[in-house]
Amino acid sequence: MTFAGPNPPTLQALDHPPPGASIDPSLDLEEEIQRLKRTRNAVVLAHYYQDSEIQDLADFIGDSLQLAQEAKKTTADVILFAGVHFMAETAKILNPERIVVVPDMKAGCSLADGCPVDRYRAWRQKYPDAVGITYINCSAEVKAESDYICTSSNAEKIVRAIPEDKEILFAPDKNLGRYLVEKLGRPMRLWQGSCMVHETFSLKKIVGLRERHPDAKLISHPECEEPVLRLSDFIGSTTALLKFTIADPATKFIVATESGVVHQMRKASPHKEFIEGPPEGNCACNECPFMRLNTMEKIYLALRDLEPRLEMPEALRERARVPIERMLALS
């Protein structure tokens, strides 16, 4: 192909409409996203709480720990993170050479929002000799003030790694914290934060479901409240829950976590029955409103325009990286 003008258009200009251009309604979005993944050398990392169609186009689906591990090792030029902000931030912290794009910058998390760094710092200053273990659902600023990061799949291991004579400050999820205190018999000071989705499950409705389905096993995420956890047959991270449903001989499960994960459970065990954990009232509160901000349209635009992009000051990134690396070394 030859060009009449003095400067031939760049490959980018040939391949993609200008940033901000509206979406051509005739496009097959799934096909376009797959094409953009190739032309951008991009990888799509998705959490289980994404809509099914997003999970189906992802290159990798996992729990928070697996997603962080995958983000660290990818050699793709671009990471599109289909999850929430703190997850994309973790990807950037671990792999700063890559461009990290998110479908929607407003995809936050009630746990991260409930733990602002100034309050967290003040809490730590009250107990200067204590070790700070912080759940990965927090901002980069809070990570930078923490000694160790943990996820729901490795929290027990991280707590066990701290010498017995050390006091532990555990933030920001009080439900996961209380679960660990009871399971490990290890006292910890708990930040009083919670996940707005996992607190929504109705104990009364779950009890009713169990009566109607006595053969069903109740499986729960440790972000759920204590009465739900106490009734549960199995407690674990999203990946642990999925694996349990595959390995366990039961053929019916009540799933007390965000409903998105049920998509993978049904795919892995089509002959089994999965009942979504029932929320209080008639809302769709068992769907995370932050996770569900991501759509196919926004993913297409993020890959096309390479925006919005996750950036952070290098000094913050370096400080936040240390407790995450400590976690990964122990995982």
Q: Which residues define the annotated binding site?
A: 47, 64, 109, 135-137, 152, 195, 221-223, 238, 288
The answer to whether 78 and 98 have CB atoms below 8 angstroms apart is: yes
Which CA distances in Å does 159 have to 34, 37, 57, 152, 168? 41, 39, 35, 12, 8
Please tell me whether residue 237 binds ligand 13P under the rule CB under 6 A. yes
Indicate the SS3 state at residue 31: helix
Q: Which two tokens stand for residue 222?
A: 């440790």
Please tell me whether residue 291 binds ligand SF4 under the rule CB under 6 A. yes
Residue 35 or 72: which CB sits closer to ligand 13P? 72
Among 274, 290, 306, 321, binds ligand SF4 (CB under 6 A): 290
Residue 40 or 104: which CB sits closer to ligand 13P? 104
- 119-158 residues in contact with ligand 13P (CB under 6 A) are 137, 151-153
- Dihedral sign for Cα atoms in the order 131, 132, 136, 142: negative
CA distance 266 to 220: 17
Please tell me whether residue 176 binds ligand SF4 under the rule CB under 6 A. no
- 249-288 residues in contact with ligand 13P (CB under 6 A) are none
Question: How many other CB atoms sit within 10 Å of the CB of residue 1?
Answer: 4
Pairing of the two strands 168-171 and 148-150:
unpaired
Please tell me whether residue 194 binds ligand 13P under the rule CB under 6 A. no
Closest distance between ligand 13P and the C-beta of residue 199, in Å? Answer: 12
Residue 83 φ then ψ, to 5°: -165, -140
Among 238, 259, 286, 294, binds ligand 13P (CB under 6 A): 238
Residue 151, contacted partner among ligand SF4, ligand 13P, none, CB below 5-8 A by kind? ligand 13P
Applying CB under 6 A, the residues found at the interface with ligand SF4 are 49, 84, 109-111, 137, 195-197, 223, 258, 288, 290-291
